[in-house]
Amino acid sequence: MNHDSESPQAGNEAEGTLLSHLVELRTRLLRSVLAILLVFLVLFPFANPIYTFLAGPLMVHLPEGSSMIAIEVAAPFLIPFKLVLMLAIVISVPFLLYQAWAFIAPGLYRHEKRLAVPMLVSSTILFYLGMAFAYFVVFPLIFAFFTSSAPEGVSVMTDISRYLDFVILLFLAFGIAFEVPIATILLVAMGLTTPQQLAAKRPYVIVGVFVVGMILTPPDIISQTLLALPMWLLFEIGIVLSKILVKKKAAREAEEGGDEPPPTNDPPDRPTATQEASDLSAKAAAAAAKARAKAATAAARARQGRGNETDRPLSASEMDEALDQAEADERRLRGGSDNAKPQDN
């Protein structure tokens, strides 16, 4: 009866908890969309000047008499619209991360919260730094190289749509590349690796960052190198920061008294021949004692079974028979243990 009455109540509580989480998730998503929409409405009147600012690194390197062009009919309106919308999302990233944090924070432990907040803030700052590095350092160099390498008689007139796609790709590539320290610290914090192991993989990391630079950037050595070198330097910074994190974690565990000897993967020591022989002897002695107790119990039961009218003690022959049986069992077990002892060389 109690189980039948409690089951519907527990089901209703679980359903109510799920619905409350879904309602909160909907609220957080609506706030995020409204924030993006608000930033977009503020920036939309300045869509054309913003695109002109974005195209500045290319415009200054175009030959005299050249300009950017719009191939599609609706491109003069849609491209600045697209740019402002993506810029609104980028600007709203801190608020979006705050909404995500407010939704998941109640389910995290204290040490997870202590690690998550700095990670969110630093990852946002590093992403912005990667985009700024791409605009102020990478764009002038690669656009100067591209425009100067045009064959004679070829007029460089870049389409505004393709230019936007190109710079967005570079913004994302450099923004993600600048997250390398965050990824390194997370791997160490989760216990998947150690700073020493990461340092040992340095040659592979150097090759890997150049491969990533080759994939994410245009097919020129300048942009590839400009992406690979910061990734390598940020990897080294991540190793240093992860070492600091490990030291702080060890100090905190020592203060809390939670430090334990590190687990080892060594197999347990195999018992020696002497230890095996002593174990068998101990087992034989225990078995002999058990046999004596069993014989005494059997004799007592036999005495009680002869009748309740007389409570006489065991006869000498019955006692000798029980003791002989116990000694025979003990000799048999000791003989087995002696045969199990290895011979010394």
What is the per-residue pLDDT across 333-344, written as a single tens digit (0 to 9) for each?
Answer: 666 555 545 444
At 87 the pLDDT is: 94
At 274 the pLDDT is: 52
At 92 the pLDDT is: 92
Domain count, the chain: 1
**Within a domain: 325:** yes
Neighbours of 146 (CB within 10 A): 17
**Within a domain: 294:** yes
**Within a domain: 333:** yes
At 339 the pLDDT is: 53
**Within a domain: 56:** no
| Ranges 16-20, 233-237, 271-275, 281-285, most confident | 233-237
Q: d(Cα 294, Cα 301) in Å, to the nearest integer?
A: 11
Q: Name the pLDDT band for 312 (thresholds 50, 70, 90).
A: low
Neighbours of 228 (CB within 10 A): 22
**Within a domain: 17:** no
At 270 the pLDDT is: 47
Condensed to tens digits (0 to 9), the pLDDT of residues 39-57 reads 999 999 999 999 999 999 8
Q: Name the pLDDT band for 314 (thresholds 50, 70, 90).
A: low
Residue 246 structure tokens:
């490990």
**Within a domain: 92:** no
Q: How many residues in the chain?
A: 345
- Average pLDDT of the segment spanning 78-95: 93
Is 308 in a helix, a strand, or coil?
coil
**Within a domain: 281:** yes
Of the listed ranges 96-110, 202-216, 281-295, the least confidently predicted one is 281-295
Which residue has better confidence, 179 or 308?
A: 179
- Listed residue (224, 226, 198, 230) closest to 211, CA to CA: 224
Condensed to tens digits (0 to 9), the pLDDT of residues 185-204 reads 888 887 788 888 888 888 88
At 293 the pLDDT is: 66
Condensed to tens digits (0 to 9), the pLDDT of residues 118-142 reads 888 888 899 999 999 999 988 888 8
Residue 111 structure tokens:
């040490």
At 266 the pLDDT is: 45
Which residue has better confidence, 262 or 69?
A: 69
Condensed to tens digits (0 to 9), the pLDDT of residues 242-301 reads 888 888 878 877 777 644 444 444 444 444 545 555 565 666 666 666 666 666 666 666
Instruction: Examine the pLDDT at 310 and tell me if it is beyond 50.
Output: no
Q: Which domain holds residue 285?
A: 275-304+314-340
Instruction: Examine the pLDDT at 106 and tell me if it is beyond 70.
Output: yes
pTM of the entire predicted model: 0.63
At 108 the pLDDT is: 74
- Average pLDDT of the segment spanning 152-174: 87
Average pLDDT, the chain: 77
Greatest pairwise CA separation for the chain in angstroms: 133
| Structural contact between residues 170 and 226, judged by C-beta atoms closer than 8 angstroms | no
Which residue has better confidence, 312 or 58?
A: 58
The DSSP annotation for 232-300 comes to HHHHHHHHHHHHHHHHHHHHHHHHHT---PPP--PPPPPPPHHHHHHHHHHHHHHHHHHHHHHHHHHHH
Q: d(Cα 299, Cα 295) in Å, to the nearest integer?
A: 6
Instruction: Examine the pLDDT at 331 and tell me if it is beyond 80.
Output: no
Which residue has better confidence, 212 or 303?
A: 212
How many H helices and E strands in the chain? Answer: 14, 0
**Within a domain: 79:** no
Q: Name the pLDDT band for 105 (thresholds 50, 70, 90).
A: confident
CA-CA-CA-CA dihedral for 236, 242, 244, 246, to nearest 10: -150
Which residue has better confidence, 279 or 220?
A: 220
